[in-house]
Amino acid sequence: MTNEAVIFTQALSKSYGNAEAVRGLNLSVGRNRITAFLGRNGAGKSTTIKMLLGMIRPTAGSGTVLGKQIINADENRELRKRVAYVAEDKPLYGYMTVEQTIRFASAFYPDWRKDVEKKLLHDYELPVPRKVKMLSKGMRTKLALLLAFARRPDLLILDEPSEGLDPVGIEYLLQVLVAQSAEGVSIFFSSHQIAEVERVADHVCILEKGCLLVDASLDHLRQFYRRIDLVFPSSPPEREFRIAGVERIQKSGHAMSVFASKNAEAVIQRAHDLNAVSVEVAPVGLRDIFLETVKEN
Amino acid sequence: MFFKLTPTTGQPLYLQLMQQIRHAAETGALHDGDQLPGIRTLAEELVVSPNTVAKAYSELEHEGLLELRQGSGAFVCVKRRTRSLADQVQVARHRIRTVIERLREEGLFDEEIRRAFEAELLYPAEIVRKR
């Protein structure tokens, strides 16, 4: 089944005392896709990922990863055999060398891919004899990524994989993500690198204050999100534009800017009917969609 | 062949790729029988999701511009229709050039002309027809 969800949650919630980190999250991540998970710091991304992997127990709600219940310990163990995960803080043993770390990790996985290991060691220019505690932040990230990529998982979950990488490192990372995706690995990754997400992701989920605000394919966002800048002969009739799909309206003198998630044609039509003297329509990039969505809430 | 996808324009990446392949076939940069890179190769080259390339290829196969052969990639098949489209594009470019020259004579700057073109292109087809 190609459309079956690799991650599925229903009303998944996590509270710490009075603080709600994740609030009633309904997530459905499609198979064979690259899905980006965006949100500000503290939006609940890492908490969500840790709940999916059974590292944190949800306060309420349920979820499955690769069809296995996340809160059932036995099922969670099963699912983790088929999921490769790169944690935000990239935990590694500081006293091991790069080589020892790779030997150590590969021993756990019968599906270890020596060819991928070799290629990434070369591409990432990792110093094999150096101790992990002596690695730079970027090198640590690369080593952690290598350990995940050299397996043959069904699902890759990456928490801030590009953190600490320079632009060249990010480019390699994205290429490896694409290669993994081409081999049928489903990918779910959180990131702050909007420009990169915009190139490589099929689907994007935006989390803010523990709630899912946007859950759409990038094709959909590109096709339907528009900013329409209007100028009227007199004060803009703002109320006339409060229609479905209009997310935000800003006024300044005779000018008005409409941010629409759909129905841009209806806005343009209305603008003409109301004698707008200038109508300019522009597509909205993911960065602006993110900022507008987060601002609105 | 070189393709360049722009993530920030309001157009799905697979559509951009389709247009660029179509354009390459129309202008003769791609010939009948030419082979395009495999889905994975092109995706890695462009650093886009393999689904983007797969969708563009499959839609172009549907249009008859590409032939996908199991295991050996995508092949261009340029039919007469494509060539007549190329002629049409030639004529259209000539007409656009005339319009632009006239606007320049009337004192408009290139940037203003570009904005006007872009604004008109962004109108949905149905509204244009009503006007």
Residue A27 tokens read as 């997530």
Average pLDDT over residues B115-125: 76
- Here the tokens at position A178 are 């694409």
Question: Residue A272, class by beta-carbon neighbours within 10 Å (0-12 exposed, 13-18 middle, 19+ buried)?
Answer: middle
Question: Are B96 and B62 found together in one domain?
Answer: no
Q: In this predicted structure, what is the pLDDT of residue A100? A: 93
Does residue B17 sit in the same domain as residue B72?
yes
ipTM, two decimals, is 0.83
Average pLDDT over residues A121-144: 89
Residue A38 has pLDDT above 90, yes or no: yes
Range of the domain at B119: 81-130
More confident residue, B82 or B46: B46
Of A164, A191, A220, the last residue of a domain is: A220
Predicted pLDDT of residue A189: 95
Query: What are the pLDDT digits (tens) for A266-288?
Result: 999 999 999 999 998 999 999 99
Write out the two tokens for A101.
């770390």
* Mean per-residue pLDDT, A86-90: 82
Question: From the centroid of its chain, how far is CA B125?
Answer: 18
- Smallest Cβ–Cβ distance between B127 and the set A195, A218, A265 belongs to A265
pLDDT: which is higher, A209 or B1: A209
Q: How far apart are CA B50 and CA A82, in angstroms?
A: 21
Confirm if A132 and A97 have CB atoms less than 8 A apart: yes
Is the domain of A67 the same as that of A211? yes
Q: Are residues B90 and B113 in the same domain?
A: yes
- Report the C-alpha dihedral over residues A207, A228, A265, A270, rounded to 10 degrees: 120
Q: How far apart are CA A67 and CA A64, in angstroms?
A: 5
Residue B4 resides in a domain: no
Q: How many CB atoms lie within 10 A of CB A33?
A: 19
Among residues A172, A201, A220, which one ends one of the domains? A220
A214 lies in the same domain as A278? no
Same domain, B61 and B116: no
Flag whether B6 is in a domain: no
Domain count within chain B: 2
Is B34 contained in some domain?
A: yes
A220: buried, middle or exposed (CB in 10 Å: 19+, 13-18, 0-12)? middle
The answer to whether residues B64 and B90 belong to one domain is: no
- How far apart are the C-alpha atoms of A154 and A225, rounded to whole Å? 32
Q: What is d(CA B75, CA B106) in angstroms, rounded to the nearest whole number? A: 47
Read off the pLDDT of residues A101-114 as tens digits, 9 standing for 90 and up: 999 988 888 889 89
Q: Cβ of B127 and A179 within 8 Å?
A: no
Q: How many CB atoms lie within 10 A of CB B112?
A: 11
From the centroid of its chain, how far is CA A169? 18
Q: Do B73 and B85 have their domain in common?
A: no
Partner-chain contact A182 B126, CB within 8 Å: no
User: CA dist A32 to A86, A162, A176, Å?
Assistant: 19, 21, 15
> Does B125 contact A at CB distance below 8 Å?
no
* Same-domain status, A231 and A114: no
**Residues whose CB falls within 8 Å of the CB of residue A67, separated by 6 or more in sequence, listed in order:** A4
Q: How much is the pLDDT for B83?
A: 62
Chain B positions in Cβ-Cβ contact with residue A32 (cut-off 8 Å): 51
Domain end among B78, B94, B114: B78
For residue range A191-233, list pLDDT tens digits in order.
988 888 999 999 999 999 888 999 999 999 999 999 999 999 9
> What is the mean pLDDT of the segment spanning B38-67?
93
Question: What average pLDDT score do residues A46-72 get?
Answer: 94
pLDDT for residue B29 is more than 70: yes
Using a CB-CB cut-off of 8 Å, the residues of chain A touching B122 are 226, 281-282
Q: Verify that A281 and A208 share a domain, yes or no.
A: no
Rg (CA), chain A: 22
**A5 band by pLDDT with thresholds 50, 70 and 90:** very high
Banded model confidence at residue A35, pLDDT cuts 50, 70, 90: very high
pLDDT of residue B130: 47
Residues B64 and B50 in one domain: yes
pLDDT reported for residue A109: 85
State the Cα angle at A157 between A44 and A146, rounded to 5°.
130
What residue in A sits closest to B41 (Cα-Cα)? A179
Please state the φ and ψ torsions of residue A124, each to the nearest 5 degrees. Answer: -85, -10
Strands (E), A129-179: 155-159
Domain holding B20: CATH number? 1.10.10.10
- Verify that A149 and A180 share a domain, yes or no: yes
pLDDT at A1 exceeding the cut of 50: no
The three-class DSSP label of residue A210 is coil
Residue B5 inside a domain? The answer is: no
- CATH assignment at residue A268: 3.30.70
The pLDDT of A140-146, averaged and rounded, is: 89
CB pairs A-B closer than 8 Å: 84
Please check the confidence at residue A2 and state whether its pLDDT lies above 50: no
- Paired with A63 in beta bridges are A9
**Beta carbons within 10 angstroms of residue B100's beta carbon:** 15
Q: Look at chain A and report how many structural domains it folds into.
A: 2
Question: Is the pLDDT score of B127 beyond 60?
Answer: no
Q: Is the pLDDT of residue A92 over 90?
A: no
Are both A187 and A147 inside the same structural domain? yes
Give yes or no: residues A156 and A239 share one domain. Answer: no
Same domain, A182 and A67: yes
**Domain-terminating residue out of A167, A192, A220:** A220
Span B103-127, mean pLDDT? 82
Based on the domain organization, do A145 and A270 belong to the same domain?
Answer: no
Query: Do B69 and B17 sit in the same domain of this protein?
Result: yes
Binary contact (B48, A269; C-beta < 8 A): no
* Residues B74 and B94 reside in one and the same domain: no
Q: Which amino acid is at A268?
A: I
Whether residue B39 lies inside any domain: the answer is yes
Same domain as B17, residue B73: yes
Task: Summarize pLDDT for B70-104 with one digit per residue, the tens.
Answer: 777 899 988 766 566 777 888 899 999 999 999 99
Query: For residue A220, what pLDDT is reported?
Result: 93
Residue A154 per-residue DSSP state:
S
Phi/psi for B114 (5° steps) reads: -60, -45
Q: Which residue has the tokens 């229709």?
A: B81
State which residues form the domain around A113: 5-220
Instruction: State whether B102 and B47 are in the same domain.
Output: no
What's the sign of the alpha-carbon dihedral B44, A206, A162, A89?
Answer: negative
CA distance A166 to chain B (A): 17
Q: CATH number of the domain that A55 lies in?
A: 3.40.50.300
Q: Residues B90, B66: one domain? A: no
Q: Give mean pLDDT, residues A12-22.
A: 93
